[in-house]
């Protein structure tokens, strides 16, 4: 399969505001996040994938195995908890407390799966929000990321650093 590894700098970010809104991200965070320069650092090693979304304000890191369902806790984004099985069960108490500390609402359980669809990496985030997920693909020398939730689509384009 295609190798997404590398450092990628955001150069286009269509509809990010609506995407954050549909995830119920608060106004202050949205106002900051919309102007951020974002850099994705991707390490792809066989079916292991680490995706780091870096900014001067906050980072978001995700480590996963392609084809294996896992819990995702979207800490610092919409703070939804995406339930994982065995491994994370051990520290689920801490995740739980962390989630409660940052959010007044109850903790929501979602499950995330990333898999290949041809040369596109497709992620589904099952949980409270319908039709939530993202897709990564490469076109020419650009990395594309489509983030979607319900009827909102955000399209990001990155160039290699």
| Residue numbers at the binding site for ligand RET (CB under 6 A) | 20, 25, 29, 33, 36, 38, 51, 53, 55, 57-58, 60, 76-77, 134, 136, 145, 147
Strand partners, 51: 42, 62
Tokens of 9: 């700098």
Strand partners, 138: 143
**b/e code 13-22 from CB counts within 10 Å (16+ = b):** bebbbebbeb
**In the chain, alpha helices (H):** 16-22, 27-33, 86-89, 92-102
Nearer to ligand RET, 95 or 156 (CB): 156
Nearer to ligand RET, 49 or 95 (CB): 49
Instruction: Report, in Å, the least distance between residue 108 CB and ligand RET.
Output: 17
Nearer to ligand RET, 63 or 89 (CB): 63
Instruction: Report, in Å, the least distance between residue 93 CB and ligand RET.
Output: 25
Nearer to ligand RET, 25 or 95 (CB): 25
Instruction: Report, in Å, the least distance between residue 55 CB and ligand RET.
Output: 5
d(CA 106, CA 68): 26
Asked if 142 contacts 159 with a C-beta cutoff of 8 angstroms, the reply is: yes
Instruction: Report, in Å, the least distance between residue 138 CB and ligand RET.
Output: 12
Q: How far apart are the first and last CA of the chain?
A: 22
């Amino acid at each position: 399969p295609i190798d997404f590894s590398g450092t990628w700098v955001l150069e286009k970010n269509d509809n990010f505001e609506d995407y954050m809104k549909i995830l119920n991200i608060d106004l202050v965070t949205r106002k900051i996040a919309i102007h951020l320069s974002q850099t994705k650092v991707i390490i792809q090693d066989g079916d292991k994938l680490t995706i780091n979304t870096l900014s001067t304000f906050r980072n978001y890191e995700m480590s996963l195995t392609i084809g294996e369902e896992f819990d995702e806790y979207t800490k610092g984004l919409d703070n939804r908890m995406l339930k994982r099985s065995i491994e994370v069960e051990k520290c689920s108490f801490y995740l739980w407390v962390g989630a409660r500390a940052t959010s007044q609402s109850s903790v929501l359980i979602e499950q995330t799966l990333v898999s290949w669809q041809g040369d596109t990496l497709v992620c589904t985030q099952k949980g409270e929000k319908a039709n939530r997920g993202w897709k990564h693909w490469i076109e020419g020398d650009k990395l594309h990321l489509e983030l979607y939730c319900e009827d909102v689509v955000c399209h990001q384009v990155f160039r290699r650093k």
